[in-house]
Amino acid sequence: MCQPKSTVFHVGGGTLDPKSSFKTYLNFRNNLYMLFKNLHKIDLLIVIPVRLVLDGVAALTFIINKNGIAHFYSIIKLIFHFIVTYINSYQKKEN
């Protein structure tokens, strides 16, 4: 159902500045955890390493930007945090 006269009061992540390095951290973190939660163990062995490499490449592209160093550190911090958490959680994952 569509209501063309409706008004949108909230679009996107309204509480965080779009340029926030914390928002970058949360976006990358949420994507990794969504993959971890929804993929089977065997698929994780392929998808997660590829995703971490691509996230590392994305982090490197932030260095090119004048104000991107905080985003770079956010992604690198996330990668290390996820690896530690991932190893512990992977062993407990049932499927």
Question: Of residues 88 and 68, which shows the higher confidence score?
Answer: 68
Q: What is the per-residue pLDDT across 26-57, written as a single tens digit (0 to 9) for each?
A: 999 999 999 988 999 899 999 999 999 999 99
Region of poorest pLDDT, from 8-12, 53-57, 69-73:
8-12
Q: Are 28 and 73 within 8 A, CB to CB?
A: no
pTM: 0.76
Q: How many residues does the chain have?
A: 95
* Segment 90-95 mean pLDDT: 71
Annotate 22-88 with DSSP letters as a single string.
Answer: HHHHHHHHHHHHHHHHHS-HHHHHHHHHHHHHHHHHHHHHHHHSTT-HHHHHHHHHHHHHHHHHHHH
Q: What is the pLDDT of residue 10?
A: 64
* Segment 67-77 mean pLDDT: 92
- In the chain, what are the domain boundaries? 21-92
